[in-house]
Amino acid sequence: MQMRGGGGEVEVKRVFIGAGCNRIVNNVSWGASGFVSFGAHNAVAIFCPKSAQIVATLPGHKSVVNCTHWLPTSKFHFKAKQLEQHYLLSGDADGSIILWELSLADGKWRQVLQLPQMHKKGVTCISGIMVSQTEAMFASTSSDCTVCVWELVFPMTGSGDCKLSCLDSFSIGSKSMVALSLAELPGDDGQIVLAMGGLDNKIHLYSGGRTGKLVHACELKGHTDWIRSLDFSLPINVNGEVNNIFLVSSSQDKGIRIWKMALSCTMLNGNGVYKKGEISLSSYIEGPVLLAGSSSFQISLESLLIGHEDWVYSVMWQPPLVSSIEGDTYYQPQSILSASMDKTMMIWQPEKTSGVWMNVVTVGELSHCALGFYGGHWSPNGDSILAHGYGGSFHLWKNVGNDNWLPQKVPSGHFAPVTDISWARSGDYIITASHDQTTRIYAPWKVEASLQDGEFWHEISRPQVHGHDINCMAVIHGKGNHRFVSGADEKVARVFEAPLSFLKTLNNATLQKSCSSDDILGNVQILGANMSALGLSQKPIYVQAVHEIPERSGIDGIDTLETIPDAVPTVFTEPPIEDQLAWHTLWPESHKLYGHGNELFSLCCDHKGELVASSCKAQSAAVAEVWLWQVGSWKAVGRLQSHSLTVTQMEFSHDDNFLLTVSRDRQFSVFSITRTGSGEINYSLLARQEGHKRIIWSCSWNPHGHEFATGSRDKTVKIWAVEKDSSIRQLMTLPQFMSSVTALSWVGLHHQRDHGLLAVGMENGQIELWNLSCNRADDGCIAAPGFAAALVVRIDPFICHASAVNRLAWKKNQEDHTSMQLASCGADNCVRVFDVTI
């Protein structure tokens, strides 16, 4: 995806999107298109399982996305052969449902329509079926205890419009439904059955025609806790007749039930009552009869599956398989996938001789992770299964033959707002911090030239897994090992240093056969880190200590909720998967920086790697002071007072002579920083000025001069200059933006001091690039009319953020000045990297 602006001068392409899945049941859907959809905060994210990359995010929802559903899903892959467009439904916590269209030919997305607002509260489930190539039916339910049934007619050609109609809407009492499944009943009547389950522990069946109202047909009792998932099979061949469909249900009672619905051969007797043909053993265990049109269906409990040790959040029938060589006929496999909070997925199939349903495959593990999977999904051809878990993570297994299911690479990312982002000193990776209490490292994993896949970005390390929400971080730019400082909702900043296992993994990712900094590798004696019991400090694992770890006895090895596994620091030769990232890629904590009176809010490091500045949440001048820390000794060497409220962002000038701070008090301050020959730090306040009418959220220096930009909630960006006499002069104000300005980053062009690009991120998720240029006098000062700004590109909304942009960062020291990389993070849980071609 790309977009041009400014007369075709600048082109922006998506390089990478990282995001975690919302931790909500029914959030994920695997479509017949081969793509997987999921909610990432208020964005709908689309990922390709083959490349393990997120390819698009769809903006439009105002609140958290609760559920997504493809039309057609993987179950109706066999009806989607001729479709040029596939459709996606997404429902959010406000009750809104949006219909999206994907054009398979060019991969372009568009928002088709927003459904009429029938639900007053959050949408909890959407389930649909393909009635024909161009017609679909779907049902939606909400926590307002209403269920709506919709009909959707797709256009015959790509240029037509979809026709949507609400067939029925009804209330289902005081206990809401959280699981739905639709199916066409066998027979010639064209009857539809809708199963729903929820908080009353019963399964309710409704039936009716395709266009008429649905009527309550019967109830199925048996579960002893909330119903969590329902799924109808397609008609299954039993004794040569395809007159049966099966319904599978799962519950918080840890059990799975399979219900058989058989088309009855009994006829009405003269009194209009159904007459049984014979009395048999099965008649005593048969359940209710479902009446649908002129047909009736005898319901019975086919099987009760016990095997999971916690709530079973999802069950799903395997999608149909080809039954003929020509590939035009399909059959429903008797195979069910279940996913549970016990962190396992199971595949259930009937035993060939006895017909008893058995657990034939188990993936995942009954592990130390206290909470497990929210849902499981089949790929369209049934050779892969996907789970999404409590940590916002995906887990994918592929059957490589003979029921040998092996883990595969998947996208990963934060599952809460991403608060800060920074490029590594070398530019080899980005590091991010989030309210999900982790910091993560993403890097392009290069592959050998003989492989034509190029490079894809992946998460390669999770340096910090913490017990508090992380608000800020800063990479140390000085020489030596890779280091960063992070600040969370606590009064202490923490310093982390790269372990040997990460340095070697990074070499593998960048294809560096021999590290240019062998001295660093030789000096690092720490292999990795272990998590502490409370999840606060991370203790180092030393190289020589690895051989001394005693083996646990059998009793000690039993996992309980309280135990934390010993980390096994590993050098990865391919991108690590979730379980490896969560425990085995931690960095050791080397120092704690005490001093602030409140929770940390902002951090920055100077370009020489000598000083770190920190600020905390504040409502008074005494607390709002900025602390300066000396890198190495980590002593506090300065306390800068100027602001009266929280300092929201700070940045050192390119020559480290000035520190710029902006604050909630609507003012910015510029401090002069000087270093004496003995290494002492002297600082003084040069200027403090009210720059905007609302909170100032962001600031950025010109990388080749003493000009800087500030961005504010008042929807403006202002450009200022530090004059020779140390006064501050406003150069210009950019035209007012559509939304609050929340992030800024300024980069120089072609080493030209007088030309640059300013990236502007907004509260609505949009990012714009502005060209800044100035004409300097001989003394280096800018004449008042000599500064110009022009909008060159608005980045395509389908690769932009869906809510506030929290931070922007240009990659430093880029060798190719016609192609640069911009990283961003936002409140939509997403991390993004863009290629900007000039």
* pLDDT for res 279: 43
Residue with tokens 């219909």: 99
Domains 23-130+141-171 and 418-543+565-837 share a fold: yes
* pLDDT for res 551: 43
CB-CB neighbours of 448 under 10 Å: 8
Distance, in Å, from the CA atom of 745 to the CA atom of 768, rounded to the nearest integer, reads: 11
* pLDDT for res 782: 58
* pLDDT for res 77: 86
Whether 272 has a pLDDT exceeding 70, the answer reads no
Query: For 156-214, how does the pLDDT look when each residue is reduced to its tens digit (9 = 90+)?
Result: 766 678 899 998 898 888 888 999 999 998 877 788 999 999 899 999 999 988 887 88
Query: For 278-318, how does the pLDDT look when each residue is reduced to its tens digit (9 = 90+)?
Result: 444 454 467 788 888 888 889 999 999 999 999 999 999 99
Distance, in Å, from the CA atom of 298 to the CA atom of 286, rounded to the nearest integer, reads: 7
Please give the DSSP secondary-structure letter assigned to residue 581: H
Across 775-802, average pLDDT:
78
CATH architecture of 23-130+141-171: 7 Propeller (2.130)
* pLDDT for res 517: 52
Query: For 165-181, how does the pLDDT look when each residue is reduced to its tens digit (9 = 90+)?
Result: 998 898 888 888 999 99
Query: For 39-56, how does the pLDDT look when each residue is reduced to its tens digit (9 = 90+)?
Result: 999 999 999 999 899 999
Q: What's the half-sphere exposure (Cβ side, CA atoms, 13 Å) at 689?
A: 16
- Whether the model clears a pTM of 0.85, i.e. scores above it, the answer is yes
Q: Where are the domains of the chain?
A: 23-130+141-171, 172-266+283-306, 323-411, 418-543+565-837
* pLDDT for res 451: 47
Distance, in Å, from the CA atom of 466 to the CA atom of 537, rounded to the nearest integer, reads: 8
Query: For 489-548, how does the pLDDT look when each residue is reduced to its tens digit (9 = 90+)?
Result: 999 999 999 999 999 999 888 877 544 455 566 677 777 777 776 666 777 777 766 544
Q: Candidates 2.40.37.10, 3.40.50.2300, 1.10.1660.10, 2.130.10.10; correct CATH number of 418-543+565-837?
A: 2.130.10.10
* pLDDT for res 621: 92
Distance, in Å, from the CA atom of 415 to the CA atom of 150, rounded to the nearest integer, reads: 32
Distance, in Å, from the CA atom of 150 to the CA atom of 168, rounded to the nearest integer, reads: 7
Please enumerate in sequence order all residues whose Cβ is within 8 A of that of 532, keeping only pairs 6 or more positions apart, or say none. 538, 539, 564
Whether 265 has a pLDDT exceeding 90, the answer reads no
Highest mean pLDDT among 524-533, 782-791, 802-811: 802-811
Please enumerate in sequence order all residues whose Cβ is within 8 A of that of 94, keeping only pairs 6 or more positions apart, or say none. 61, 62, 63, 122
Distance, in Å, from the CA atom of 291 to the CA atom of 289, rounded to the nearest integer, reads: 6
Across 66-93, average pLDDT:
90
* pLDDT for res 423: 95
Whether 747 has a pLDDT exceeding 70, the answer reads yes
More confident residue, 254 or 539: 254
> Is residue 248 within 8 Å of residue 346, measured between CB atoms?
no
Q: Which CATH class is domain 172-266+283-306?
A: mainly beta
* pLDDT for res 220: 93
Distance, in Å, from the CA atom of 95 to the CA atom of 123, rounded to the nearest integer, reads: 5
More confident residue, 123 or 274: 123
Which of these, 668, 606, 663, lies nearest to 637 by C-alpha position? 606
Q: Which of 61-70, 332-341, 690-699, 742-751 has the lowest mean pLDDT?
A: 742-751
Distance, in Å, from the CA atom of 442 to the CA atom of 575, rounded to the nearest integer, reads: 10
- In degrees, rounded to 5, the angle at the alpha carbon of residue 432 between the alpha carbons of residues 473 and 14 is 140
